[in-house]
Amino acid sequence: MPLCDDKAVFVACSGVKHQGSECHSYHQSPAPSRPRQKLLKTFEGSSQDAVRPSEHSASSATRNPCGHLSRHVLPRFPGFRHHFSDLLDALHFLLVAGRLYLAWFYYDFDTPARGARLQSWFRHLPVWSRLADYFPMKIVKTAELSPEYNYIVGSHPHGIMSLGIFTTFATEGNGFSRTFPGITPSLATLEGQFYFPFRREMVLATGCITASKDSINYQLSRDKGGRAVAIVLGGAEEALDANPENFDLTLKSRKGFAKLALKNGAHLVPLYNFGENSTFTQVKSERGTFLRKLQSGFKSAAGFSPPIFMGRGVFNYSFGLLPHRVPIATVVGAPIPVEKVEKPNPEQVDELHQKYCDALTKLFDEHKTNYGISADTKLNIL
């Protein structure tokens, strides 16, 4: 197969007109002249002596006069080899780091159900106080929480993202440790929150635990006092009711927390986040409607509900995923004393559950007018 004469390649690369250059067999090429030897040596040598790409057109730099790719093109880009090597090193590092993290993930899998890994420095990061200032948020303390007892704190309402209880119990943005000294807070959340790599480590650092019976029992049995576990009792079903004018709480059939309180002798504390339901605007899906049935069915299958909502944007107030800047007041009620019962019967559970519902209703009625809610508004426990 005929190939181009090396002399023709030299002429094409140098941009000098050469009449009569012909294509010959590679084996019939004449001995290279000194200029050509110098150029070939330049291509094979260091990048400092190489001909700059700007001196040639793209076509002459990549193809010889016969239209074939020049075998001397790639060496003209010495940096490419180094960049490619750096890319391979980075990929190798990520592969090794990923394997190490997967091994750690497997080893550390049960930590969310075994007290988490609370890091005080992480809870005190300035970003959390900025988050609280954004709305703004505040804690309203109505009674002391003695470090001599453990507590189960019921949080209402769920809202779209439970921003009030998260900022209060999972961070120091609201100054929880200053308000309730001697109390170590933990927020119980969905187990799925701990399945996301790296994000899991941040959630653990806030002190969050899984919202399972075993996890809460473990947390309350670690110490004889000074532990407070917050549970958003309404769950995903209540999130679908998150609207500013809605005061429905999914609580009537939620009695597991009362049983846990009896078995651990943990006092019950009602908590209401005024303003939580106003942080986002949700498409209304009243109970019994087709949309609500569809969302509830999805929740039963997937474990979470898909609310249809919007917030605000960075430069606008009508559309986006940022929460609206509305004040949120986390009102913490007085604890309900609970005596420890190893095996509580249903009557004891029902009695404590009713006491809690009454205390929550009283807390709401005493503070609702302070946060723009009319005096005749009632809390609906469903």
In a domain, 289, yes or no: yes
Report which secondary-structure segment, H or E, holds 273.
Answer: strand 267-274
Q: What integer pLDDT is reported at residue 76 of this predicted model?
A: 54
Dmax over Cα atoms in the chain, in whole Å?
108
Would you say residue 371 lies in a domain?
yes
- In a domain, residue 202? The reply is yes
pTM of the prediction?
A: 0.76
Round the CA-based radius of gyration of the chain to a whole number and report it: 34
* pLDDT tens digits along 254-300: 999 999 999 999 999 999 999 999 999 999 888 889 998 898 888 88
Q: Which two structure tokens, joined as six digits, stand for 298?
A: 């999805």
pLDDT tens for residues 115-145?
Answer: 889 999 999 999 999 999 999 999 999 999 9
**Alpha helix positions (H), the chain:** 6-14, 34-44, 58-62, 78-107, 120-123, 126-134, 163-169, 176-179, 199-205, 213-221, 235-239, 256-264, 290-302, 346-367
Residue at 132 is within a domain = yes
Assign residue 362 the CATH number of its domain.
3.40.1130
Q: Which domain holds residue 267?
A: 107-381
Residue 14 covered by a domain: no
Q: Is residue 129 part of a domain?
A: yes
Segment 28-65, tens digit of pLDDT: 445 555 544 544 454 454 444 444 444 444 444 444 44
CA distance 15 to 212: 77
On whether the CB atoms of residues 138 and 329 are closer than 8 A, the answer is yes
**How many domains does the chain divide into?**
1
Q: Ranked by mean pLDDT, which of 16-25, 216-225, 304-313 comes out on top?
A: 216-225
Region of residue 159 (left: phi > 0; alpha: psi -120 to 50; beta: else): left
Residues 148-195 have pLDDT tens digits of: 999 999 999 999 999 999 999 999 999 999 999 999 999 999 998 999
Q: Which residues on adjacent β-strands are paired with residue 231?
A: 154, 188
Give a yes or no: residue 19 inside a domain.
no
Q: Is there a domain that residue 227 lies in?
A: yes
* Gap between the Cα atoms of 381 and 360, Å rounded: 10
